[in-house]
Amino acid sequence: MTGEGDAKDQRKAENEKEDTLTNRQGHPITDNQNMTTVGNRGPTTLENYDFLEKMSHFDRERIPERVVHARGAGAHGYFQSYGKVGDDPISNYTRAKVFTNTEAETPVFVRFSTVIHGAHSPETQRDPRGFAVKFYTEDGNWDLVGNNLKIFFIRDAIKFPDVIHALKPDPVTNRQDPRRIFDFMAASPESTHMLTFLFSPWGIPANYRYMQGSGVNTYKWVNDEGKAVLVKYHWEPVQGIKNLTQEEADHIQGENFNHATQDLYESIENGDYPEWELYVQIMEDGEHPELDFDPLDDTKLWYKDEFPWHKVGKMTLNKNPENYFAEVEQSAFGTGVLVDGLDFSDDKMLQGRTFSYSDTQRYRVGPNYLQLPVNAPKKHLGTNQRDGQMTYHVDNPPGSDPHINYEPSITGGLQEADHKGTPHEPEVVGKVKREAIDRKAHFSQAGETWRRFNEREKADLISNLSSALVDADEAVQKQMISHMTEADSEYGRRLKEGITNVRSSENEKQEDAVLDAERMGDVSDPY
């Protein structure tokens, strides 16, 4: 196969011009207004090829919606490394060329998203935001897949389907139900810290340009000597950070439920290119028994005063997609997509996500999703992978033997690359077991976050949590109040008072809304 899809053959039929409409087979369309019928009133005939091709493709215009992160927006740009970690050369810590080559402007594609709700849900929903960056590096693709918030609800990937099920609409009523959400969260005390952020104004970023990003997981950097350090990634918007209270979000949603997508698109179109600087935190590889938490725990922050942030590069978004579906909807990311010099830690969430993400893309987009332009590396490719649904081309380098699609071979074919740099070979010793980490510290950082919030953030948090918990079972309410009290006594006390104050008014308000919809509608005659 010679890559016919790349050819721009301009041959035309006698009745064609540059702007002639054709079908996918290249046949000129002479009538795009009428199906073939018996007479001009019908019935239609079976050999309506143009109609059947057009309609059958339309029926398939939507690939399966992402289970999470369905609502998204994206843009192209570039990343440039500063080449330093503090005063040290960045090569002391990593040999990844995306960081060591300060001359390169590495192309990137970024997809921002909400997590729980569907593809056309309002962008003012209280929800974590996805912040996924695909770097098209000279060594191949690197995907940094994260969120706006720097922590997560859980620390073990085996619980991921459950937390998402709890946050998704009820399988019977199809309504997102706080009673279900907090039933799960009350039984998962490690979620207390994330809930403290999510129900504060940090749970509703003003838009994508004023939003932080985080890798959330703990990764490793590896240098030329094979030495590794633990690393966390943070994207900080040069534009500044802005979040919304629930009241502010409700006002915006009433006027424009696409506001964040519109803002991102129009800003880039107007030349007001959004920028983020990338910061890293570095920790020596190891268990760090001196800390009261495990550094691989995704429910925890590494505080700046102990582990400083180091500015290592800047990302600029300067080009909007030309086709949303081809570039944003079909863009596919995975936490396992790392280049030389970047590596995995033993973070349980990272380990689980590394299987889940790429497996999801093969199901959702197809086994050849990496042949799509938005996902394909911008460099030499040579694989022995063949066939599968929607194969577009074969990754045969020029001059290679197309008969040999296996390795090793003594007569030709692709060859393994030479090792560059000493491999990182962590030593793993221990019993194979299924149990939680030792240093759980469910509530300490949640309390610290509460104490660091200003009064606006505290008040909004209590208001939102109280409203969400008011209909929950009493046992769930008590457990959530207990968790917040463990975090900080003021936090727990104010939540208890908030639920009591909301209880009487909230039920009436929801019932009134149902009755108002019936009462306010005008009666109309049938037509």
**Could you confirm whether 69 is annotated as catalytic?**
yes
**Could you confirm whether 147 is annotated as catalytic?**
yes
Catalytic residue among 69, 193, 259, 310: 69
Q: How far is residue 446's CA from residue 293's CA, in Å, rounded to a whole number?
A: 13
3-state SS class at 199: coil
Run of H or E including 85: strand 84-85
Q: Which two tokens stand for residue 414?
A: 């692709």
* CB atoms closer than 10 angstroms to residue 154: 21
Q: Residue 189 has what DSSP assignment? A: G
- DSSP per-residue codes, 297-344: -TT----TTTS--EEEEEEEEEE--S-HIIIIIS----TT---TTEEE
Q: How far is residue 108's CA from residue 140's CA, in Å, rounded to a whole number?
A: 12
Closest CA to 376 of 415, 337, 424: 337
- DSSP per-residue codes, 410-464: SSSS--PPPP-SPPP-----S-------S---TTHHHHHHHHHS-HHHHHHHHHH
Residues 6+ apart with CB under 8 A from 433: none
Catalytic residue among 76, 117, 141, 147: 147
CB 23 within 8 A of CB 50: yes
Q: Residue 364 has what DSSP assignment? A: H
Q: Which two tokens stand for residue 80?
A: 């440039």
State the catalytic residues: 69, 147
